[in-house]
Structure 1
């Protein structure tokens, strides 16, 4: 006897005649059927066909599967778990028919990721027929979950396909939307492969809308029509998610994140304005790659600009890998039959081990709140379930294990028109920790970047207070003091004016140097710098030998007054690490409006132009603030420091002091004069 293959009987029309050479036919219970019995099979019953029937042209089998949505829905039995296709691939005609024509259904469970279409099955009054379980909560089911008429399953997106395949989350029926078949009878899952791939491979009954507007995507997206029980022809536009206009806060976050993205990096991005802002800020990069769970218009834009090429990817080079698309009609048209696009199951895209195989993997995810220890809340808001775990932890962990990878959490610093800080002393009651404090590395707001990896709680709290909104920093620091996270005398970090923002400089050797304002969280690094100076360097800096640099001294050093003082550090950047090589600072004397200038440079970085770069940058800042010039006391034997002043181009007045010290006054030229 030849092997059997499961096919569906026709709905609402006569069964085809058995052809010569058919070995045997079985009914849905596995009982042997005669020719006569096959002809009288009730509509909707399953048939197992063998032999020559499988050699019939697939188009003939396809024609017998075509039916209306209501006819297809009538083949679903009570008490079955039904998966609905994700995102923009929701089969809305079948979904509507399931509610309108599904009076026979009872105790059916509906499961899916976020869907862009309507969710009529969660309407009040339908509880006896349908109960929804969300793997990720979308706006269309959020009220039902809050009101207890639907459920939420917290689960990593990478785990859902395995749960389905292993039948821990059994899928009986899959409602999907597909493209028209090709010449070989294969349809494409189009814009949504994610968990749908596992569902169509595991479900006992697959019902599909066939939409000519569904793009035919490549990758693990193909399905033969023989696997589908019933086909419902439709023709409607896929739902679109048009990027919202960016504001200044979005753009600032995007620029900060972009500083963490090197050429040749591989990106994971999500949905929303922050992801759009980051992609827009990467237009000057080269040879970026993409391995992500979700792809939007911003990626398409960078591909068309030649920024995303995938040539530097270490896994599937030159392929743009994703599990679902959500964006504009132009994005769907771009995806159609695009061989550069590789659609894969979430079991592949979200596997942390697969993600980690990409060098320089940059994972960008958003959050609703972050506490001062680094815990991230992403699926709850005001104590209520809001979204879901999704792929955040998958990509955070995968990027953390990538060579040169960077896991990033990005969020606006405030909510509710600035009245609520998203950086919080502690997460509110009922908030869910999606990403643990041990997993978090970079946290980014419009006010800067906090690098938490390898930091203790005191250092984390200070770094996060620094990137909180200035209006909330004092309250956050008070809360940190109450919890004994920071020193009792810790000062509040001040907002720094835009003219003091990070600046790139080039040394004489061509080496790049990052010049940025000193931060309160730099206290430990600056203390380390001072303790590693040679005795000679200590003497030149402090005009004497200084053996200790306690917290009180260091806090004064890093505490800035935006009008009367400024301090900047020079940092060498290697991969994702900053090493402070030097610091320069001035403090304005109100009597003469001159800034008392001092600089300290690590021994190994001296005589390379670092001090000169710092002085030039502080001159720019001081001039913009209306400072008249600088003054300093310099040891007569400190020829290197005197050379820095002489190369500055400033008008110098050098007065010898009786203690072997020069008193140097360097005035700025009046406005309008060179």
Structure 2
């Protein structure tokens, strides 16, 4: 570290307890999602919750189940979620924390307009020789507030240094603490034969030179594993996971035909295993940008061959996709699925794939349905849907009538449900 930053460091380097002096009653604190979560700083807040009144913590996808999320620190400290995770799902279903509906791209604006944006608490990589910290595995919604909202950083030696619009100079922060603990890892999901079958149907519709977005789940990961024979692919995705590494190292992904940020992998956050975090460290090929940019359908549509791949839990004859509920019970949130569905639909040769197994795990219920299960929430609308994929084929819905959609969806339903679905479609007057 050059000596010119020593004076800054002497002023800005703090102890975890120093965060308490920066928080006032009624504040709105903003945390990044996943590994951007500053574990030690939140520990301090929880331990001292009785010193505050009505402090709200806003976050997507919390990684650690905590007492305040479960409502055991109210009214001092409460949790406002923008995407449920295993750490917050039960609390929401029990009415102990709040959930704000959103498209991922909208979260920075929602926070600007509906909260005080009092302080951002974020994990970061160590300072570099130029005086900059990196938000590491993140840009997400918090990078939009750099230079506009006070930041307090938890600098983790294990956080990779990454590049893009997620850099923050030491002069722009209120302070920082240093920690050393491993990052949260998410293993690649188990891929079944059914997943591979669905993945192969999608992979064969991806052309050389395409730009790919792949969501969370076994099927999107299966697709990524099946495009190893393609050439000159690009990546523009909200979530970057382990599957991309082999494609980059084999030369399949090089981004040379991308229209925006050619040669770069564009993402807004990364979540996977330590292998991914090692891949990201000081890798100039990966560009972390604010979600307002990455998930903007107009930005997505600039890629002529944009391929969007996401999963859902059920689809009805209209083409409505319920991707944030399971059997009518709330599970997650919208995330960026609709952002990329809209972006792919606007792209010149864009294709948006929504994939699912044809039945529930026990095989007793069809996931292709006349109407969504009661309580289900529409994530991708009938107007934005393009292609639905099961292990029985691809139903192209864009520009098709309800009658045509019903027939196409019945054809990719499990064979044992097709007669029943046809009967229902006729009863509803959708087909004759």
Q: Partner of 1:287 in structure 2?
A: 232
Which of 359, 367, 376 is equivalent to 2:321? 376
Which of 121, 129, 132 is equivalent to 1:186? 132
CA distance in 2, matches of 1:202, 1:396: 31
SS state at 1:389 partner: coil
Rg larger in structure: 1
Alignment of 1:230-379 (within 5 A): 230-379=175-324
**Contact (CA 8 Å) 2:131, 2:170: kept in 1 or not?**
yes
* In the alignment, structure 1 residue 89 sits paired with structure 2 residue 32: no
Which of 360, 365, 368 is equivalent to 1:415? 360
Deviating runs (4+, > 4 A) in structure 1? none
Which of 94, 109, 114 is equivalent to 1:162? 109
CA distance in 2, matches of 1:188, 1:70: 23
Alignment of 1:106-185 (within 5 A): 106-165=53-112, 167-185=113-131
CA distance in 2, matches of 1:119, 1:312: 45
Q: Deviations over 1:621-658 (max 9, x none)?
A: xxxxxxxxxxxxxxxxxxxxxxxxxxxxxxxxxxxxxx
**Contact (CA 8 Å) 1:360, 1:404: kept in 2 or not?**
yes
Q: Deviations over 1:594-626 (max 9, x none)?
A: xxxxxxxxxxxxxxxxxxxxxxxxxxxxxxxxx
CA distance in 1, matches of 2:169, 2:95: 39
| Distance verdict in 2 for CA 1:127–1:383, change over 3 Å | farther
Which of 147, 160, 176 is equivalent to 1:215? 160
CA distance in 2, matches of 1:319, 1:62: 33
Which of 64, 69, 85 is equivalent to 2:16? 69
Greater fraction of residues in strand? 1
Which of 82, 91, 103 is equivalent to 2:50? 103
CA distance in 2, matches of 1:471, 1:152: 38
CA distance in 2, matches of 1:77, 1:214: 29
Q: Deviations over 1:269-306 (max 9, x none)?
A: 11221111010111111100011111001111211111
Normalised to the residue count of structure 1, the TM-score between the two structures is 0.62
CA distance in 1, matches of 2:407, 2:327: 25
CA distance in 1, matches of 2:32, 2:64: 10
SS state at 1:407 partner: strand
State the superposition RMSD in angstroms. Answer: 1.5
CA distance in 1, matches of 2:346, 2:276: 31
In structure 1, runs of 5+ residues without a counterpart are: 1-55, 488-674
CA distance in 2, matches of 1:447, 1:245: 20
SS state at 1:421 partner: coil
**Contact (CA 8 Å) 1:83, 1:199: kept in 2 or not?**
no
CA distance in 2, matches of 1:406, 1:383: 28
**Contact (CA 8 Å) 1:94, 1:209: kept in 2 or not?**
yes
How far residue 239 of structure 1 moved from its aligned partner, in angstroms, is: 0.6
Which of 373, 381, 401 is equivalent to 1:428? 373
CA distance in 2, matches of 1:382, 1:202: 42
Q: Deviations over 1:212-244 (max 9, x none)?
A: 111110111100112221211100111111102
CA distance in 2, matches of 1:269, 1:115: 21
Q: Deviations over 1:477-517 (max 9, x none)?
A: 22212111112xxxxxxxxxxxxxxxxxxxxxxxxxxxxxx
**Contact (CA 8 Å) 2:320, 2:381: kept in 1 or not?**
yes
How far residue 434 of structure 1 moved from its aligned partner, in angstroms, is: 1.6
How far residue 117 of structure 1 moved from its aligned partner, in angstroms, is: 3.2
Q: Partner of 2:173 in structure 1?
A: 228
CA distance in 1, matches of 2:72, 2:129: 45
How far residue 71 of structure 1 moved from its aligned partner, in angstroms, is: 2.6
* In the alignment, structure 1 residue 395 sits paired with structure 2 residue 347: no
SS state at 2:57 partner: strand
How far residue 74 of structure 1 moved from its aligned partner, in angstroms, is: 4.1
CA distance in 2, matches of 1:128, 1:406: 47
**Contact (CA 8 Å) 1:359, 1:404: kept in 2 or not?**
yes
SS state at 2:50 partner: coil
Alignment of 1:534-573 (within 5 A): none
Q: Partner of 2:400 in structure 1?
A: 455
Q: Partner of 1:479 in structure 2?
A: 424
Count of residue pairs brought into register by the alignment: 430
